[in-house]
Amino acid sequence: DADVTQTPRNRITKTGKRIMLECSQTKGHDRMYWYRQDPGLGLRLIYYSFDVKDINKGEISDGYSVSRQAQAKFSLSLESAIPNQTALYFCATGETGGAGNQPQHFGDGTRLSIL
């Protein structure tokens, strides 16, 4: 089984719909992240969480919200989807400790299309 699992893997929906993407992990990491990936651009951070009670906005949080339901679960919501949110979405986890420069570990992504 994958250490970082994202559901669904693919989703097509319409403008204005509410969408939730889910992420669960078995790595036991405290830190979790949501990114989006667009062609020709680097990964961009949407939200991150260093533990269950800690939620932080990333570079592009507008139009998104998150919930950290447990150490192992971190979900991303689009309250009212718009076409420019069409992208590949990745969840990642990371360990706490050291100098804060531990590598992140990624799920296989959700391909989201908004018509």
Partner 1 sequence: EDQVTQSPEALRLQEGESSSLNCSYTVSGLRGLFWYRQDPGKGPEFLFTLYSAGEEKEKERLKATLTKKESFLHITAPKPEDSATYLCAVQADSNYQLIWGAGTKLIIKP
For partner 1, give the closer residue by CB, 81 or 109.
109
Question: Pick from 66, 109, 112, 114: which binds partner 1 (CB under 8 A)?
Answer: 109
Q: Dihedral through CA 30, CA 35, CA 23, CA 80, nearest 10?
A: 130
| Residue in the structure block whose two tokens are 């706490």 | 96
Q: How near is the Cβ of 12 to partner 1 at its closest, in Å? A: 16
φ, ψ at 103 (rounded to 5°): -65, 155
- Tokens coding 63: 């139009």
Q: Which of residues 76-105 bind partner 1 (CB under 8 A)?
A: 90, 92, 99-101, 103-105
HEC secondary structure over 71-109: CCEEEEEECCCCHHHCEEEEEEEECCCCCCCCCEEECCC
For partner 1, give the closer residue by CB, 14 or 98.
98
Using the rule CB under 8 A, is 41 a contact of partner 1?
Answer: yes
Which of these segments, 14-22, 60-68, 70-78, 107-115, binds partner 1 (CB under 8 A)? 107-115
φ, ψ at 11 (rounded to 5°): -150, 130
Would you tell me which residues interact with partner 1 (CB under 8 A)? 4, 40-45, 48, 58-59, 90, 92, 99-101, 103-109
